[in-house]
Structure 1
């Protein structure tokens, strides 16, 4: 049986405003799905509903057919959801290695033992170091996370997700705030994660060149509703997306679009 992540009629209301409106979608391994739409479309809110930062007003979220809607964000993490945020979520005063080692320890179910200091757990340290090498942070394992550049902090956050061994990787604008030099490193890291076809990858990203380079599938939200879902070329070319996302009237053409779509 193929592992799936699914939302059914997922909805959330803030007062009289419906931020996500009956969104139904199924995600499967081996596929990177980009979630796009104009500002205020409900992309990050949809992410927050899936990962447990928000509780829906209606609808359900299922992992492999099991309803996880009642679960808290930490319990969803244990169930296999990994989430990277727009703002890095690290232990700033701990070393790079200690950050990842704690995540490895959590994934292994190893609890604090005053009779056996963590330094004696060479297996945990070796696993942490191997992950740091994968994200090209091995040379910086001893420095405090707080002194890393923004790009390296994002790489460290990905390392934490990898250490938790999730079945679903969720990236919310992973290139936000990065310099031009830092962006390719993170994109290459996500591209390498894609090679593991047992994982589901979800990506919220405003930069359409990033979406086009990574996505196997695009879903488009507009005013909280799912308005398009399909292969990147098909979705980008659809009139409803050009109108809703790009502000182009049906039948009109533009030689240059700032978002990066080639029309």
Structure 2
């Protein structure tokens, strides 16, 4: 079965430093993969290569078997890769609802010309409300994004990604910076998406309780290289993980 997302020999070098080193992996629909590793292991850089924020030095990125290595992040989003928690993608001077509405509009291929006539597109407005309800932000519908807490901004990013209806959903430390009360909302939402079994979900995460609660599979990066890949119990008990990750990176 063709994977939704694959990397083949994916590598990036910054000067003399190899940040991601010849990483090959497949990600399938219905599977949640958590990427772990010590600080500086290349986890977020690997994410950036897959979502298009960084150009690969060598290797390929495939989406449903199509080579998208040379496509930028916007093109990859249109093709079905969703990346959460890039706070710069929010529009701070628009409302919470307007931010999600734009994503719904983009997914519907409606075009910016509809911006001035939203009242005649009730279905799109209702879809935006639906996604806000899913992330528990319906009560902040009219709030300017600039006034949101850090945790609410992260929840808004999830709503925007859901509204784009991607086949691949990528979360980079989804609970970082959230209050204790806010964490369950996002984790429950990821669990709901996982239960649908229609999307490939990728997480970069260092909190072991989150990893254990969500992972179907764990990939371990160390010094940019993939050093372990498999079922959570087997990976977490392996000697290389104990040495390279758990023993030295509790603060990553």
TM-score bracket relative to the smaller structure? over 0.9
Structure 1 unmatched runs, 5+: 249-256
- In structure 2, relative to structure 1, the CA distance for the partners of 1:183 and 1:86 (3 Å cut) is farther
**RMSD across aligned positions (CA):** 1.9
- In structure 2, relative to structure 1, the CA distance for the partners of 1:115 and 1:17 (3 Å cut) is closer
Q: Which residue of 1 aligns with 2:30?
A: 30
- Higher deviation after alignment, 47-56 or 114-123: 114-123
Displacement after TM superposition at 1:178 (Å): 1.2
TM, length-normalised to structure 2: 0.95
Which string of whole-angstrom CA distances, capped at 9 and with x for unpartnered residues, describes residues 175-220 of structure 1?
1111122112211111111112110000001111111111110000
Equivalences for 1:1-263 in 2 at 5 Å? 3-85=3-85, 87=87, 89-113=89-113, 117-247=117-247, 258=250
Q: Distance in 1 between matches of 2:114 and 2:146?
A: 28
- Higher deviation after alignment, 239-248 or 155-164: 239-248
Contact 2:129 2:138 in 1 (8 A): yes
Contact 1:88 1:153 in 2 (8 A): no
Which string of whole-angstrom CA distances, capped at 9 and with x for unpartnered residues, describes residues 58-97 of structure 1?
0000011100001111000000000013646311111111
Q: Distance in 1 between matches of 2:12 and 2:216?
A: 27
Contact 2:4 2:168 in 1 (8 A): no
Q: Distance in 1 between matches of 2:134 and 2:115?
A: 32
Q: Distance in 2 between matches of 1:177 and 1:124?
A: 31
Structure with the higher fraction of residues in helix conformation: 2
- In structure 2, relative to structure 1, the CA distance for the partners of 1:246 and 1:115 (3 Å cut) is closer
Displacement after TM superposition at 1:258 (Å): 4.8
Moved over 6 A (4+): none
For the residue of structure 1 that corresponds to 2:124, the secondary structure is helix
* Equivalent residue pairs, number: 252
Contact 1:88 1:154 in 2 (8 A): no
TM, length-normalised to structure 1: 0.91
Q: Distance in 1 between matches of 2:221 and 2:250?
A: 19
Contact 1:219 1:228 in 2 (8 A): yes
- In structure 2, relative to structure 1, the CA distance for the partners of 1:133 and 1:15 (3 Å cut) is same
Q: Which residue of 2 aligns with 1:251?
A: none
The one of the two structures with greater contact order (alpha-carbon pairs below 8 A, sep at least 6) is 2
Question: Which structure would you say has the larger Rg?
Answer: 1
Structure 2 unmatched runs, 5+: none
Q: Distance in 1 between matches of 2:81 and 2:186?
A: 20
For the residue of structure 2 that corresponds to 1:41, the secondary structure is coil
